[in-house]
Each structure stands twice: as C-alpha cells, then as structure tokens.
A and B are shown apart, each in its own frame.
Chain A
Amino acid sequence: DTEVTQTPKHLVMGMTNKKSLKCEQHMGHRAMYWYKQKAKKPPELMFVYSYEKLSINESVPSRFSPECPNSSLLNLHLHALQPEDSALYLCASSPRRIQETQYFGPGTRLLVL
C-alpha cells in the first residue's frame, strides 16, 4: 500500500478562520513533507518532518503551523491566511530519515476568501 491520504479534499476559508489540513500514511515512512502548489507551477517545499521532528522549515510564514503527532500523521494548522495562500497543499512521505523516493497524496485544494 503506497497511499498517502489527505483530508479534506477541498476547503474554503475566510481570512479570520482557523482550519487544519490532515495527512496520513500507513507505510511506515519516517519522513513527511508539506508542499504548496500553485496552478501550473511545481510543488514548493514548506516543511519536512523526520522521525516526528521538524527538520526543515522553508521560511514559511507563521500563519502556517505544522504538527506531527505521530509517525503516521501530519497536520497543517492554518490561521489568518491571505487570498494569495490559495493553492493545492500536498503532503508526501518517504521511507527513511530524509530519503529520495517521495510519495505524494492527492492534495487539499484551499481557497481563501
């Protein structure tokens, strides 16, 4: 099973809302990633967790707050977002510590009004 699941599939939120995106994998992978993808652009790395510890933060604004409660679960907490944050948010995982073969989830399509 090489599946990464993400919920919700779609999310519409106002600039004052607080919401969370959820990512889950049951492949025993120990590295998990959040990416942001704008239309017709490649994915941009936001955060990397390795063995449940934040390993990389690509200078992401504090209105995005990641959390890794356990090795199978990754959350992205959203607060006071801007319309320009509207994008497809992708979660990915890879087998070992920080390893090459990344498997992506289907993404959450976020619209900020």
Chain B
Amino acid sequence: QQQVKQSPQSLIVQKGGIPIINCAYENTAFDYFPWYQQFPGKGPALLIAIRPDVSEKKEGRFTISFNKSAKQFSLHIMDSQPGDSATYFCAAGHSGGSNYKLTFGKGTLLTVNP
C-alpha cells in the first residue's frame, strides 16, 4: 500500500513534443505529491509539487495533473527541450504523524531528441 507505481520506464520524444509521465498510488493518506528531476551524477532537484485539493498545477513548462478519485497524478512537459533529458521521479508523502517520509516511484528516463 506504500507503493507508487510510475510509468513509462523510459520515454523518447522529439524537441517540442509533450512527454507525459504517470504515477499511481494506493495509500489514501498520501497528501503531498512532488516530482523530482535528476541529471546524471547529480542529486534530485524538486521540480513541482501538488496537494490533493487542486487538480492541476503549472510552473513554467511543467504541469502536474491530479486525479484524486483515480489516485493518479501525471507530469506534462510542454515544448520539451533536449536540456529536459533526465530521469524524473514522482513521489508521495503523508505529512501527518512523526514518521514522515517520501515514497518514490521507480523513475522515468526521458530523452528529448533535437
């Protein structure tokens, strides 16, 4: 019940395309859903995050869509660029209690071709 399932495992798009990465969760106690971007040899960087009280959040070219009833959320990258090529991790967390931690998806390797 603590799992976050992420798909696809890898994704190749052309420059300007709109890659979509999907995540699904089971634990209804999760109330915080961040996305991290990680370049090779670097630490993950927080990209954007959403809470269940909104269905969509946009920051620049990155948009999270959230479907509470389906327990799914997804990342869309508008006008993708070769510099967006990285591994993307979704995560989920429960802010209540003292034992808080993030549960990560397995990651999606995105390649944006020029």
Give chain B residues whose Cβ lies under 8 Å from the Cβ of A102: 34, 46, 102
CA distance A105 to B107 in the complex (A): 18
Q: Is the CB of A48 within 8 A of B106?
A: no
A79 within 8 A of partner (CB):
no
Give chain A residues whose Cβ lies under 8 Å from the Cβ of B46: 101-104
CA distance A8 to B105 in the complex (A): 28
Query: Contacting B49 at CB < 8 Å: which of A41, A98, A101, A106?
Result: A101
CA distance A47 to B37 in the complex (A): 22
**Distance (whole angstroms) from the CB of B45 to the closest CB of chain A:** 7
Query: By CB atoms of chain A within 10 A, which of B44, B105, B106, B109 has the most?
Result: B44
B35 within 8 A of partner (CB):
no
Give chain A residues whose Cβ lies under 8 Å from the Cβ of B100: 98-100
**25 CB-based A-B contacts, threshold 8 Å:** A40-B109, A41-B106, A42-B106, A45-B101, A45-B102, A48-B101, A55-B98, A55-B99, A56-B101, A100-B32, A100-B49, A100-B93, A101-B46, A101-B49, A102-B34, A102-B102, A103-B46, A104-B43, A104-B44, A104-B45, A104-B46, A105-B43, A107-B41, A107-B42, A107-B43
Other A-B pairs beyond A101-B49, A102-B46, 4, CB < 8 Å = A4-B43, A56-B99, A102-B102, A107-B41
